[in-house]
A = this chain, B = another copy of it.
Amino acid sequence: MVREGNWGRWGEQDERGALNLLTPERVLAALQTPRTGKLYSLSMPIERTGPHLDYRGAPQRLTLTNHSDESMFVNGFGGRVGVGANEDIVVMGTHTATHMDALCHVYADGATYNGHPHDGMSSYGGAAYSGIEKAGTIVTRGVLIDVAAAKGLPHLDFGYAITADDLQTALKQQGVELRPGDAVLIRTGWLELFMETDEMRLDQPGLSLEAARFLGEQDVAVVGADNTSVEVQPWSEGEFLGGHIELLVKRGIHLIEHLSLAELSADNCYQFLFATAPLRIVGATGSPVNPIAVG
């Protein structure tokens, strides 16, 4: 791959990509965005049902201890009768429910972001480069681009490829301009449709390659959406994971998928403080997240 996009921009060893844009100045400025102080949770629930792909399995919460184990607390830990602890174990894919893709998630032409070798992901050790534990903390201005609402639709059509013009039109209607370092969240309405119908389809509305390039050129730090892959399926221009290659691989822009954006949309809340930090799972290719918006 010819060096392009942001490769080398933050050093040859960089593993954080566009998150380097989150300078203290931008962070402090972002803190001044909120007007209402209303708190939003942008994740969907994690449960066995959901828009889960079969090959990843459904997430499972399994009870480790509950009141049926009280004798263990009493005899094993010296508890008094009537006192105990409920605990659980979770088994889940790191790309299930609302989650952030690490920069190592996708490779193309032998490399992940910044030219790190594509085979640097071993079975036991996980990602040697750009694992999700390298991402760190994200606090920046968040911008909702409510494409569905801008078109007056509850949700975009299956397979609809959002254009750069769609993004610009929606931004104009919303009265917001993108700035470098923003976290941009695209609403297609797909997740709400899924939650109503419980029907998992992959031909989802999402970004065209051209729209992905537009966002990359705005120098945003994060791109998220309320669908399964941020980008449209069937793949824009027929390129498997083309939007991931454009944003994640070339630009080092972390992606967030399956975002719950209905409440922001209902409130016409287009600018907000955006804050999230993926779990520091060493070597992981992604992490479930529950991103925060402050309106």
Contacts and interface: CB of A to CB of B under 8 A. Distances in A.
A177 interface: no
A107 B123 contact: no
A5 interface: no
Interface in A103-141: 104-110, 118-119, 121-127, 133, 136-139
Interface stretch (A76-84, A144-152, A180-188): A76-84
A58 B57 CA distance: 7
Interface in A175-223: none
A167 interface: no
Contacts of A27: 34, 37-39, 294
Contacts of A273: 31
A245 interface: yes
A292 interface: yes
A172 to B, nearest CB: 28
A265 to B, nearest CB: 17
Q: Which range contains the number of A residues in contact with the other chain?
A: 35 or more
Contact of A68 (B68, B239, B276): B68
Q: How many copies does the complex hold?
A: 4
9 contacts: A27-B39, A41-B280, A45-B133, A59-B281, A63-B121, A65-B123, A72-B124, A87-B95, A275-B292
A22 B41 CA distance: 14
A51 interface: no
Contacts of A280: 41, 43-46, 97-98, 290
A127 B45 contact: no
A92 interface: yes
B139 A275 contact: yes
A57 B55 contact: no
A61 B284 CA distance: 7
Contacts of A137: 39-41, 290, 292
Nearest to A137: B39
A65 B136 CA distance: 24
Contacts of A292: 137, 139, 275-277
B105 A86 contact: yes
